[in-house]
Amino acid sequence: MQRLADNVLSHLKRAAEPAVSFWLNDADVPCKVQDHCDVIYSLCLLNRLDLIAPRALNRFASLIPQLALPGWNSTASQPPTEALNVHNFAYLLGTLNILKRRGIGDLYPRIELKRKPDFDRLFFGNGLTPKYPAKFTHHAWRVSHWLGGVPSILLSLSKSVSVAADAAEKRLAPSIIAINGRLNPKTGMIREYQSEFLQHAFRFAYQLRHDPDLGDLGGVAHILWVNWAMGIPYVASEQLAEASVKALARRGRFLEGVPYCLDFDLLQIARTATQAGGNAPALEAEASRYLADIEAFFAQSDLGAYTLHKFPGALATYAEAQLVTQGPGAAIDIIKDAYWL
């Protein structure tokens, strides 16, 4: 692990990304929230949060009140510097969870500065199902960012010891029950569509550029993360374990050419679904292969166009592989720490 960490840090520093300079070199440079989160998740997974520059945390804290956040009404007189979608808000809260749990700093009070919660805006009229754009009904991976992201936000806020915690907690359990109830009981997959004909047409078109089966698994992963963090049994855990391990066995080195989030999604499903009652005897072989492949990837002198946002997915995949091959405590279980990735 030490050699991997050294190689990854070397690549991060050479990438000349503004957010890396912000956190490691005390550079006061503008960055998108996602980039900040990528750096903190990466340092956490490398167990190197000690590298954070002295003034970086306070500068980051000052940015939070300036953001437009889903489910919150702003009372600020100035326009927001950046508007976050549900996915990136869940990612921001995951970052705050990491910083708080590692004793770096509690930035949750900054979420409530110049804002009031309005969680009804996050749901359809029934108040249970997270609101997503109707045009994505047939796109499980797209829809999942709302179906998983909203409960992840509520889970983070419910643990934050804030004035919004009670309101978030009241929404959380009913929404999780409703979302799990909308999954296909035979496969465990997301099934928001109403027309089988249109779904077949969508999958036909989708497969021209992507694997629809991987999209389905990568989608439901966003919902399973909250279930895993809360200790809630998976719908069709055995089928999910089997489907994810079979998909992993069909990969080359990585599911998207380079180590990224989809590798983490499927390996995390396979590990946790197996513990939740599934059966995946080939899982350890796939995890061992990931350890070797990720180490070899970062041992390269040049990663080409590998971007900052890919680092957390790669490192989280490596941690999952360690948890599979070496058991609990071998690495960070990032979803139980952050509730999102």
Q: What is the DSSP string of 269-305?
A: HHHHHHHTT---TTHHHHHHHHHHHHHHHHTSS--TT
Buried b / exposed e over 250-260, threshold 16 CB at 10 Å, is ebeebbeebbb
- Tokens for 289, please give them: 């292969």
Place of tokens 């249970």: 128
User: 339 and 226 in contact (C-beta within 8 Å)?
Assistant: yes
Give me the pLDDT at residue 225, please.
Answer: 98
Q: 259, 293 in Cβ contact below 8 A?
A: yes
In this predicted structure, what is the pLDDT of residue 219? Answer: 92
What is the pLDDT tens value at each position of the chain, 341 positions in all? Answer: 788 999 999 999 887 789 999 999 999 999 999 999 999 999 999 999 999 999 999 999 999 999 999 999 988 878 888 999 999 999 999 999 999 999 999 999 999 998 999 999 999 987 889 999 887 776 677 899 999 999 999 999 999 878 899 999 999 999 999 999 999 999 999 876 565 655 565 554 556 566 767 888 999 999 999 999 999 999 999 999 999 999 999 888 999 999 999 999 999 999 999 876 666 778 999 999 999 999 999 999 999 889 999 999 999 999 999 999 998 889 999 999 999 99
- Pair of tokens at residue 183: 């999954």
The 10 Å CB-count burial string (b at 16+, else e) for 192-230 is: beeeeeebeebbeebeeeeebebbbbbbbbbbbbbbbbe
Q: List phi, psi (to 5°) of 30.
A: -70, 140
Q: pTM of the predicted model, to two decimals?
A: 0.94
Instruction: Report how far Cα 229 is from the mean position of its chain's Cα atoms.
Output: 12
pLDDT at site 208: 52
